[in-house]
Amino acid sequence: MIGSITRSRLSELLASSHGKRIAVVGDAMLDIYLIGDVDRISPEAPVPVVRVQERKRALGGAANVAQNVIAFGGKCALVCAIGPDASGDAVIEMFEEVGADVGSLIRVSRATTTKTRVTARSQQLLRFDEEDDSDLTGSDEEHLKQAITKTIATADALILEDYNKGVLTPGVIRHSISEAQKRGIPIVVDPKYKHFFAYKGSTIFKPNRRELESALGASVDINNSAALPDVLRELEVEHLLLTLGEKGMVLISKDGEIGRIPTTAREVYDVVGAGDTVTAYLAGVMAAGGSVAEAAIISNFAAGVEVGKLGAATVSPAEVLQAFDQFSQSN
C-alpha cells in the first residue's frame, strides 16, 4: 500500500500546480449527443424512431484531458490534428471558450474525429464515428513535430494521449519524448494498443488492465509482485501506473517498488472520462514538484470525484480537497 498524504501537502501541491504549463499531444475528438425520446418503430425498418429534443457537444479524447488541465488551474497547449470541417471549427471554438491555447491545433486534410451518440430514455441506442484513423504522414506529421517542439519549449510537463486515431505516430512519439527529455520535464503517457511499446523513456506509463493484457498477449497477475517489474522492464519506462477501475491503481517503479492505491470513490455514476482526469492530475502534480507516488495518490482522489459525475467531467482542486476530507473522516 502506498503511504498517505497530509492535507497540508495536498493543498500545497494543488496550489503549486496552478499556472503550470502542460503540453498535451494526442488525438482530439468532438463528441456529439443527440438526446430524445422514442414512441414508435419506423415503418421503413424495425428500428426505433428517435425524436431528437436536445443536441449537446463536448470535447473528447486529448481535448478532454486538456480541459481537465485547465480545471485544476493549469495552462494547456494541445497539439492535435483537426480537419477542415465544421467539427474542427467546433473544437477550436470550444477550446477558446475554456481558455486554452489553440495555436497548436493543426489542420490536416481529413475529417475531424467525431463521435455521435443517439440516446433515448437514458439509453444509448446508437453511436456512429466519422474518422480516418490511419497514421498521419508527410507534411501533416512534420507540422505536428514543429508544433510539438515549440510547445514543449515552454512546458512544465508533457502528456501523450493516444486513442489510436493517427496523431501519435512512432515518429511523433519519439520526437515528443526526446524534446521533453532535453528539458528534463515529466512525461505522462496514456497509451492504446497500436504503438504500445513505443513510449520508451517516459516517466509514467498509465494503461488500464485490459490494455496492458492485450498488448502483452497474456493476463497480468497483479498479486504476483515478482512478475510486475518484468513488465516494467519490457516497456522501458520509469513507472507503470496500472488503473484497475473500482479496485484502484497499482504503481510499479523501476527500482522494484510496488504500491497499491485503493479507490476513494464514494459513489460511481459514470466512469467515462475518469482516465482523462487521472492523466491531467498526474502531470499537474509532477509539474508542481510532487513525487510520482504523490501524483498517483492525488489523481486517484480526483478520479473518485469524476466518477460521481455524469459523462466526461472535470474536477477542481476544491473538489479534490473535499474528497480528501471526506475520505479522512470515514477512515
Active-site amino acid positions: 276
What is the rounded CA–CA span in Å between residue 76 and residue 22? 5
13: how many CB neighbours lie within 10 A of its CB?
25
70: how many CB neighbours lie within 10 A of its CB?
17
Please, what's the b/e burial string for 278-309 (b: 16 or more CB within 10 A of its CB; e: otherwise)?
bbbbbbbbbbbebebbbbbbbbbbbbbbbbbb
Residue that has been written with the C-alpha cell 506509463 in this structure: 205
The torsion angle over the Cα atoms of residues 275, 302, 247 and 258, rounded to 10 degrees, is 90
**Collapsing DSSP states into helix, strand and coil, what is residue 331?**
coil
218: how many CB neighbours lie within 10 A of its CB?
11
Q: How far is CA 257 from CA 2, 242, 285, in A?
A: 10, 14, 20
What nine digits make up the cell of 115? 463521435
What nine digits make up the cell of 78? 494541445
Q: Are 168 and 160 in contact, with CB atoms under 8 Å apart?
A: yes
